[in-house]
Structure 1
Amino acid sequence: MRRQWNLKRVSVRMVDCKKIDMVHRFNCHLGGRGLSSGEAEQHENEDNSISKTKHLKKHQYRYTGERPYGCDQCGNRFAQSDHLVTHQRKHTGEKHYHCLDCGSKFKTLNELKVHQRIHTGVKPYGCDQCGKKFAQSRYLVRHKGLHTGEKPYGCDQCGMRFAQPGYLVRHQRIHTGEKRYHCLECGSSFRFSNGLKVHQLIHTGEKHYHCLDCGSSYRTSSALKVHQRIHTGEKPYDCIQCGMRFAKSRHLDTHQRIHTGEKPYHCLECGSSFRSSNVLKVHQLIHTGEKHYHCLDCGRSCRTSYALKLHQRIHTGERPYGCNQCEKRFTQLGNLVNHQRIHTGEKRYGCNQCEKRFTQLGNLVNHQRIHTGEKHYVCDQCGKRFAQSGHLVEHKRTTEEKPSHCQDCSSSFITSNELKGHQGI
């Protein structure tokens, strides 16, 4: 009887293709698993302590919970040194394993094997409830939660519940602010290893996922999947308030702020608030005066590439969006969508202060200023403020010019409506 680990020496029969032989195994009293004599690194002197055997020690760590190998970057600890080496590649970015099909690189052999299932189509993990198959076991575990609905792991900060403890651990980093994964190139930090992986592709320039319809390339499979909705027309995210559908969840989030009135992005220069960070960025160009996009036809400068693209249609005469109800064509898709509501009679934008409804969001926004008293548009000559941009334009014409002229008597008027009244139209 071995004293230190309570090891029992037993004889078992091992079979290979050449012969049947008797070998010794050592049983662990903690878990009952047998360790081969090769694993136990038998010594010539049987009195030599098997507690020194590295393979037995590794096995014992499973039951004692001991993790002697610590990462000096993030503090994670491991029972085996090779697990630490694999983990440290997250910090160093080393990728020793290469896919021969597409050139993708991976930190571990297991990651490469899982990736190769994209090319082979192998999905070895099947759900015994519905038969759906998965390439990775964790996807199967996540899927099974749909059938049971069980979420035993709860967050003590916000009450959210999760089907797996790993999901809870990841979620709790939102509350703690912990960002344990760091980019060695630029110092950016991330809560999750996946976030770091995607970020590092910015530095390497790798884009392994290609659209078969248009050839566009993307860093992640999820980004490609979202892009492909342009071609398929799929819009899986719908607004429960008005029924509008969106291809991206973040577009739905931004849209819903129309209904809630939330404007979380604020300009530090003038205090204006916006529903999305992109609109804030464009707005800030007003203060900086930056206009990086220039028209080669007339020299006009625009703040965004999209604004330049729309402007250039003035020169080309391009109106790519046509109405299928009448013959009108438009330079912008949004203008076509707004126009089509004339035919359908749809007024999807309703005022929450009164019962008025509008075909266009801009008209609703302008209308709501009647209730709020907001006057965003300021005359730079006299300081007078207006609720609508059109009213500011009319005011400026009053003080500067009368652009509408009668061809019969040469009278001039501030607005086209005044001219029409004069002409009796």
Structure 2
Amino acid sequence: MIPVPRNTRSGEKPFTCNECGKSFREKKTLIIHQRIHTREKPFTCYDCGKSFRAKDTLVFHQRIHTGEKPFTCTDCGQSFREKKKLIVHHRIHTGEKPFTCTQCGKSFIQKRNLLGHQRIHTGEKPFACNDCGKRFSQRKHLLQHQHIHTGEKPFTCNDCGKSFRAKTTLINHQRIHTGEKPFTCTQCGKSFSQKRSLLGHQSIHTGGEALHLPGMR
């Protein structure tokens, strides 16, 4: 049996950074952290010259060049370069969502998804567009917005060649070719390719106006 360090068992963090005051359980973690302040990156990739603060990060990076994906999902066979990505992926199969919002109870597979969601409640928008100043709660929304300024449409349909600024728009478009209609009315069983079409349809049953979604005109 491998002995567990006392600091790990107790949750104690005796190693403190003199620059910012952040504390760590292990000295090696503190040393890696301190390189943020010194900007030291002693581990360099011989293939592309990119440097890293930690050796483990270099090892993960090098798998981009080698194509190595040593961590394989036993449920579906999909492979990953990092063990933590396999762990997150496996939650798709188990349905586990360990990160829960204390405001509304919604749960998420990844902590970063929870943090992004919580900005809905706080109103925080930390990601700003350098071109127009518009702010966003999530980085992916900023990147999508920036394509308006650059004119870039990086997501292309393999069936017809049409290109789009956002991946979600491409996915919706592809249903024209596949005929997929994943959104089904629980009242009458009619199916739709887009969620907004389903919401508009449901007003027939409720007798009300079509529900409004952000972005609908």
State the TM bucket, normalised to the shorter chain: 0.7 to 0.9
Counterpart code for 1:163: R
1:238 equivalent to 2:100? Answer yes
Q: Which residue of 2 aligns with 1:296?
A: 159
Distance in 1 between residues matched to 2:148 and 2:57, nearest whole Å: 33
Q: Which residue of 2 aligns with 1:269?
A: 131
Higher relative contact order (CA 8 A, sep 6+): 2
Question: For residues 217 and 270 of structure 1, do their structure 2 counterparts lie closer, same or farther at Cα, with a shift above 3 Å needed?
Answer: same
Listed as ranges, the gaps of 5+ residues in structure 2 are: 204-210
Is contact 1:263-1:274 (8 Å) kept? Answer: yes
1:199 equivalent to 2:61? Answer yes
Q: CA deviation at 1:262?
A: 2.4
1:150 equivalent to 2:27? Answer no
Q: CA deviation at 1:261?
A: 2.4
Q: How many residues align?
A: 207
Distance in 1 between residues matched to 2:144 and 2:150, nearest whole Å: 10
2:145 to 283, 290, 295: 283
Q: Which residue of 2 aligns with 1:125?
A: 2
CA displacement 1:140-183 (0-9 Å, x = unmatched): 32xx4354233222223333322222222222223333222222
Distance in 2 between residues matched to 1:148 and 1:316, nearest whole Å: 55
Question: For residues 191 and 335 of structure 1, do their structure 2 counterparts lie closer, same or farther at Cα, with a shift above 3 Å needed?
Answer: farther
Question: For residues 312 and 252 of structure 1, do their structure 2 counterparts lie closer, same or farther at Cα, with a shift above 3 Å needed?
Answer: same
CA displacement 1:107-147 (0-9 Å, x = unmatched): xxxxxxxxxxxxxxxxx415xxxxxxxxxxxxx32xx4354
Secondary structure class of the residue paired with 2:90: helix
Question: For residues 162 and 288 of structure 1, do their structure 2 counterparts lie closer, same or farther at Cα, with a shift above 3 Å needed?
Answer: closer
1:183 equivalent to 2:60? Answer no
Counterpart code for 2:40: E
Question: For residues 178 and 260 of structure 1, do their structure 2 counterparts lie closer, same or farther at Cα, with a shift above 3 Å needed?
Answer: farther
Q: Aligned Cα RMSD in Å?
A: 3.2
Counterpart code for 2:2: Y
Q: Which residue of 2 aligns with 1:320?
A: 182
CA displacement 1:61-112 (0-9 Å, x = unmatched): xxxxxxxxxxxxxxxxxxxxxxxxxxxxxxxxxxxxxxxxxxxxxxxxxxxx
Q: Which residue of 2 aligns with 1:214?
A: 76
Q: Which residue of 2 aligns with 1:226?
A: 88
Counterpart code for 1:319: K
Counterpart code for 1:217: S
Is contact 1:295-1:308 (8 Å) kept? Answer: no
Question: For residues 307 and 389 of structure 1, do their structure 2 counterparts lie closer, same or farther at Cα, with a shift above 3 Å needed?
Answer: closer
Q: Which residue of 2 aligns with 1:257?
A: 119
Q: Percent identity?
A: 48
Is contact 2:8-2:25 (8 Å) kept? Answer: no
1:307 equivalent to 2:169? Answer yes
Secondary structure class of the residue paired with 1:278: helix
Q: CA deviation at 1:324?
A: 5.9
Q: CA deviation at 1:189?
A: 1.9
TM, length-normalised to structure 2: 0.78
Listed as ranges, the gaps of 5+ residues in structure 1 are: 1-123, 127-139, 343-358, 364-387, 391-425
Secondary structure class of the residue paired with 2:49: coil
Alignment of 1:25-424 (within 5 A): 124-125=1-2, 140-141=4-5, 144-145=6-7, 147-292=9-154, 293-294=156-157, 296=159, 300-322=162-184, 327=189, 329-331=191-193, 390=217
Is contact 1:295-1:301 (8 Å) kept? Answer: no
Is contact 2:157-2:174 (8 Å) kept? Answer: no
Distance in 2 between residues matched to 1:216 and 1:178, nearest whole Å: 35
TM, length-normalised to structure 1: 0.43
Larger radius of gyration: 1
